[in-house]
Amino acid sequence: MRDPSSYGVVAAGWGFAEGASMFAAITLAPLTKARQDGELVARCKTTGRAGQRHGSKKDRCPMQMKVVPPVRVLSAPHRITLAEVGKTASAVCAAVEADAAAQGMTVNGPWMFIYRNLPHDPDTPFEIEFCLPVQSGAVYHGRHVLKTLPGTTCAAHVHEGPLDRLFDSYATLLRAAAARGCRLSGESREIYHCWQGPQAAENRVEILFALEPEPA
């Protein structure tokens, strides 16, 4: 498994302060492309191309709706600021992997970072979980949390390529979600399906925005 310090926006080395300000700008700015993105989502829905990875990037849908099943993870929850994510991720991910190995757990999925109620500035604390999917049949006696993440319905978009363009993908998904009238719950996830390094074109990072349940 790759050095966990290389995961995440900050640890990728391109500067989280820049990324945080970009995310804040995305979420606060008027969604001027909502109408165009909404038309693209509708077109994908009728042509059956939603979520399709083949073909040109121009033809790919900016968003797909998906139900994420429950997953068993070894979790390290923290309450930190955006400015602290980089150094925290580096140490915490290494500790979680070492703990999983010491407990005889089998890693059965890619790293997942869960963000809750992201702030619009780098200095306000928020909740984050660094989650490693595992299989474990034994009673856990470690210093992290063995838990099952609940399933949820999400708006999803797969970022492909270098991490210095990750927030462009966040913007794409936010605009598409707004165009569809999605009600975001405040939880987002990053799943590192394929990781070859910060600047690799082969990287595949799935961005998930959890949705509020439909009103009864």
pLDDT, tens digit (0-9, with 9 covering 90-100), for 53-82 = 434 454 467 899 999 999 999 999 999 998
Q: Would residue 154 count as lying in a domain?
A: yes
Sign of CA dihedral 193, 199, 202, 207: positive
Instruction: Report the CATH number at residue 95.
Output: 3.20.80.10
Q: Would residue 194 count as lying in a domain?
A: yes
**39 pLDDT higher than 60:** no
Please give the pLDDT value at position 196. 83
Domain count, the chain: 1
Mean pLDDT of the region 43-55: 37
Please give the pLDDT value at position 60. 61
Give the residue numbers spanning the domain of 153: 4-211
**HSE-up of residue 132 (Cα within 13 Å, Cβ side):** 24
Q: Would residue 173 count as lying in a domain?
A: yes
More confident of the two residues 97 and 215: 97
**99 pLDDT higher than 50:** yes
Please give the pLDDT value at position 15. 36
Give ∠ CA 65-152-201 in degrees, rounded to 5: 55
Q: How far apart are CA 179 and CA 191, in angstroms?
A: 24
pLDDT > 70 fraction of the chain, expressed in percent and rounded:
72
Q: How far apart are CA 112 and CA 96, in angstroms?
A: 12
Mean pLDDT of the region 88-92: 89
pLDDT tier at 145 (50, 70, 90 boundaries)? Answer: very high
Q: Would residue 24 count as lying in a domain?
A: yes
Q: Would residue 216 count as lying in a domain?
A: no
Q: What would the two tokens of residue 42 be?
A: 């509708």
CB 140 within 8 A of CB 102: no
